[in-house]
């Protein structure tokens, strides 16, 4: 898709999807199909930089995580690595950390990881809980959460504006949101990165996962995702103040922040 079309994009559109409902169905099926190898692929394809991005995002919100009894939701949590990073950053404070995703298979992996970690640390700290839910229609009341995050999930929503409105709805006034997602770096690094992202990554991803499709969808979905300025405009329109974008690793990824 060309640059000029980005402004009218409403959300993710995997190949073959004809409307928002079929796009969401295709996205869920895709993540369900790669769930068994998702963590391995993530770390291999990002050269482990993903861990740094999750940690950095969690650190950004340490002031919220330190609040006693803070309610924290990690949307599109997948196998839970962003959620665990938030829990780790909270340290001795005890926020209620919840991870939500609409792929049952991804949540099963998150649950298994929780059990393994709890058994290892046994320090009595609260562990994340998991809920199967669609980010576009969340089963939570208005003004409920102090912090809502999403790592590499928001880009997959079938309607970005509806996703932002839903986050704004469930955040309490003064609550914050952090959306971590891929970007497109510019210059010489950008060209190199695009070659890796479009030519190498889909091949390696398909080889390791054994599933054709999802790793071709990834670069296409990043290309389709709004540019930072456009995304910030959408955030403001959805009711977020102090909307900002911080590039991570030369803009390969970046964190959008906003306050309700």
Ligand X SMILES: C[S@@+](CC[C@H](N)C(=O)[O-])C[C@H]1O[C@@H](n2cnc3c(N)ncnc32)[C@H](O)[C@@H]1O
Nearest residue to 66 via CA among 44, 40, 93, 47:
93
Stretch that binds ligand X, among 27-35, 57-65, 117-125, 243-251 (CB under 6 A): 27-35
* Candidate list 34, 58, 82, 171; residue touching ligand X; CB under 6 A: 82
Stretch that binds ligand X, among 3-11, 23-31, 61-69, 182-190 (CB under 6 A): 23-31
Of residues 226-255, those binding ligand X (CB under 6 A)? none
Q: If you search the block for the tokens 């559109």, which residue do you land on?
A: 13
* Contact pattern from residue 42 through residue 61 relative to ligand X, giving x for each residue in contact according to CB under 6 A and a dash for the rest: x-------------------
Nearest residue to 153 via CA among 195, 204, 106:
106
Kindly state whether residue 24 participates in binding ligand X, applying the rule CB under 6 A: yes
* Candidate list 136, 162, 208, 220; residue touching ligand X; CB under 6 A: 136
Kindly state whether residue 27 participates in binding ligand X, applying the rule CB under 6 A: yes
> What Cα–Cα distance (Å) separates residue 241 from each residue in 41, 131, 135, 157, 256?
36, 28, 21, 22, 12
Annotate 59-102 with three-state secondary structure.
HHCHHHHCCCCCEEEEECCCCCHHHHHHHHHHCCCCCEEEEEEC
Kindly state whether residue 97 participates in binding ligand X, applying the rule CB under 6 A: no
Kindly state whether residue 85 participates in binding ligand X, applying the rule CB under 6 A: no
Of residues 141-160, those binding ligand X (CB under 6 A)? 151-153, 156-157
Nearer to ligand X, 102 or 245 (CB): 102
In the complex, the smallest distance separating the C-beta of residue 210 from ligand X, rounded to whole angstroms, is 18
The tokens for 58 are 């969690």
Nearest residue to 86 via CA among 177, 162, 169:
177
Give the residue at shortest CB distance from ligand X: 78
Q: If you search the block for the tokens 């690793």, which residue do you land on?
A: 249
Q: What phi and psi values does residue 257 have, to the nearest 5 degrees? A: -125, 150
Positions that interact with ligand X (CB under 6 A)? 24, 27-28, 31, 42, 76-78, 81-82, 101-103, 106, 134-136, 151-153, 156-157
């Amino acid at each position: 898709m060309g640059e000029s079309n980005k402004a009218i994009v409403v959300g993710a559109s995997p190949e073959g999807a004809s409307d928002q409902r079929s796009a969401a169905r295709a996205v869920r099926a895709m993540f369900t199909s790669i769930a068994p190898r998702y963590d391995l692929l993530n770390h291999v394809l990002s050269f482990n930089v993903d861990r740094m991005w999750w940690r950095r995002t969690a650190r950004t919100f340490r002031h919220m995580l330190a609040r006693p009894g803070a309610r924290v939701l990690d949307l599109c949590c997948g196998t839970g690595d962003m959620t665990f990073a938030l829990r780790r950053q909270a340290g001795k404070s005890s926020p209620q950390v919840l991870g939500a995703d609409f792929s049952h298979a991804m949540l099963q992996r998150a649950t298994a990881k929780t059990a393994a970690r709890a058994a290892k640390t046994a320090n009595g700290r609260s562990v994340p809980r998991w809920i199967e839910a669609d980010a576009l229609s969340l089963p939570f009341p208005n003004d409920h959460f102090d912090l809502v995050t999403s790592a590499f999930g928001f880009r997959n929503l079938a309607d970005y504006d509806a996703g932002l409105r839903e986050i704004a709805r469930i955040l309490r006034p003064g609550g914050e949101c952090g959306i971590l997602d891929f970007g497109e770096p510019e210059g010489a690094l950008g060209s190199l990165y695009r070659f890796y992202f479009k030519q190498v990554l889909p091949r390696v991803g398909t080889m390791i996962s054994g599933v054709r499709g999802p790793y071709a969808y990834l670069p296409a979905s990043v290309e389709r995702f709004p540019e930072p300025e456009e995304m910030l405009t959408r955030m403001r329109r959805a009711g977020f103040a102090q909307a900002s974008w911080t590039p991570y690793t030369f803009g390969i990824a970046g964190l959008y922040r906003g306050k309700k």
